[in-house]
Structure formats: structure tokens, C-alpha cells
Amino acid sequence: MKTCSIVLSLLIAYCGWAAAAEQSDGIGSKKLPHDAVLICKEHVNGGASGKSMHIVWQAFGLNEDIDKTAQFYQAQFGQPPVRDDIGRNVWRFKGEYSELIYSLQLSTSTGPWSGCSDKPINFKTILMISNGFWRKQS
């Protein structure tokens, strides 16, 4: 009986570990790298250029380097990232009234996560996921 409970405990622990390894982000619903740690998240309301806007973002700290993490997301998105003018690796998906952005950058970069309670300096890479929604104002 004791062997059965040990096996059952190991099976439950394995299932919990496998579920954690397959966790997805709460914005774009893509799989997260296994070592992703949520540093912070925020929902911002505002408006500009005649648009009422809502932005939801999450910042994750990763212990993998940017290139390896870029390969992880390239496999999910089916395309390589674009290097933007400030050196981030970016995947950008635009809709008529939304824009979903995944970006990878060094943990020493500045960004909205800089004020988070968990400090990004403990990681190699920062994964920033943001989704902006807007509507035209009449």
C-alpha cells in the first residue's frame, strides 16, 4: 500500500510539473518558456489621436539568452522577429482595432517593468507582451 501511495504522489507531482511547463501567457495565449517568471503586469487606460485605448501588458524575466528565446517564439509564430530601432526582437500583430506585441530585450534595458517589485536584473532576458485595444471616437 505504501508503494502505491508513493507512485501516486510521484504521478501527481509530475502532472503538476508538466502543467507548469506548458503554461501560457494571459495576453496572446502563447506558450511561455519553462523558466519564465512574471515580474509584473498592468492595465492602462488612456487616449491619443482621437482613440480611446486600453493596453494590457506583462513582463517576464527569463534565464535564457535572447537568441534561444527568439527561437522558441519563432517556432510558435512561424516567422523570425524584427529588430526594431532600439534593439528589441519584436513580433507585431496588427488588427483593425488592436495591436499585439511580443518583444525580447536584455534585462538591463529600461521599460515599464523597471518599477516592478521584482527586479529584472536577476534575469538575462525580459519578455514583454502587450496588447492595445482602441475604438474610434465619434
What pLDDT was estimated at residue 136?
65
Give this prediction's pTM.
0.77
Strands (E), the chain: 37-48, 51-62, 82-83, 89-94, 98-106, 125-136
What pLDDT was estimated at residue 48?
65
Backbone CA torsion sign across 39, 43, 47, 52: positive
Please indicate, yes or no, if residue 117 is contained in any of the structural domains.
yes
Residue 6 has pLDDT above 80, yes or no: no
Q: What is the per-residue pLDDT across 9-60, written as a single tens digit (0 to 9) for each?
A: 433 433 343 334 458 898 888 999 999 999 999 888 877 666 688 999 999 9
What pLDDT was estimated at residue 49?
66
Please indicate, yes or no, if residue 15 is contained in any of the structural domains.
no
Structural domain boundaries, residue 77: 24-136
Please indicate, yes or no, if residue 68 is contained in any of the structural domains.
yes
The stretch 66-73 carries a mean pLDDT of 95
Please indicate, yes or no, if residue 19 is contained in any of the structural domains.
no
129 contacts 57 by C-beta, under 8 angstroms: yes
Q: What is the mean pLDDT of the chain?
A: 81
* Residues of the chain above pLDDT 70, percent: 78
| Count of domains for the chain | 1
Q: How many residues does the chain have?
A: 138
Distance between CA atoms of 57 and 5, rounded to whole angstroms? 42
Distance between CA atoms of 127 and 69, rounded to whole angstroms? 9
What pLDDT was estimated at residue 134?
86
Determine whether 129 is exposed, middle or buried from the number of CB atoms within 10 Å of its CB (0-12, 13-18, 19+): buried
